[in-house]
Amino acid sequence: MVARQFTKYLNIILAMIFWAFSFVWVKEAYQSFGPVTTIFARLIISTLLLFLVLKITKKLQPVHKSDYKLFLLLALFEPLLYFMCESFGLKLVSSTLASVIISTTPIFSSIFAFLVLKERLTIFSIIGIIISFSGVSILIFENGFQLSAPILGILLMFGSVLSTIGYSLSLKKLASKYPPVNIIAYQNLIGIFMFLPVFLLLELKTLSNIDFKLNAGLAILQLAIFASSIAFIFFAKSIKQLGVAKTNMFINLIPVFTAVFAWWILNDKIDAQKIFGIATVIIGLFISQIRIKKHEA
């Protein structure tokens, strides 16, 4: 029982670690490739890898006709809408403001999970969300910031939040029918065809002018293997095991891990404020997982 619980939380924590690392990999990939090209390439590599694994292990399952629309909806939310909103939103708003908006995902996902999936929203979940969100705010509100940005940029970043929630709700319905690897393989395959016209329209012409760097190529491989494949598989498992609200709660760990990785890899300073913020996020996560067992009289 203890080992099973440990595995549940290990899956989602590893997913958050890989997604936190993706910020570093994306930055390296952008040294040679544009945003759409980076996404398009990682989807192609990830899809080929996942279908190869499924073929070798003979675990590839066909999609039932009744689930076609749900898989299309899944890929529409993520990767298409999420990455499009995030990429273009970051051009209009500061990274600080973008982080604040993205960190509200657990709050909105808990509300949507309660309204749509009827998942129980306990008082501890609410308190944990508030505390964890406060911890994220402590991490990203360094020296304060001015809330001045075009309304379009703000709406696009909230579009990323809503895309994540839509993805989680769609994934919840499929997680009980298909193994995680199958879901992510089909999701990425559909995502390739959705991104194809965007790639052809926006960045095909720039390929001939690419200044290829080895670090950029390796970064795309790491994004494809860890961020677009393994992380999504672990996330899908967590949605099935922990539910939408609690799984999305762990999204607040991404800026925490990013701060640690920036200190470790980029030698960024971690001061008392960051340490306090990290501790606050972790405390909030623990509180959100508290369950009270009701005993029958």
At 34-79, the pLDDT tens digits run 889 999 999 999 999 999 999 999 999 999 999 999 999 999 999 9
Identify which has the larger pLDDT, 141 or 130. Answer: 130
The predicted model gives 174-189 an average pLDDT of: 93
Rounded Cα distance, 233 and 10, in Å: 13
Percentage of the chain lying above the pLDDT 90 cut: 38
Rounded Cα distance, 235 and 16, in Å: 9
In 203-271, alpha helices (H): 214-222, 231-242, 244-249, 253-265
Question: What integer best gives the mean pLDDT of the chain?
Answer: 84
296 has pLDDT over 60: no
Tokens representing 133 are 């969100």
* Structural domain spans, the chain: 8-122+146-241
* pTM (two decimals): 0.80
DSSP-derived 3-state class of residue 179: coil
The predicted model gives 235-253 an average pLDDT of: 84
In this predicted structure, what is the pLDDT of residue 148? 45
Tokens representing 122 are 């306990």
In this predicted structure, what is the pLDDT of residue 288? 78
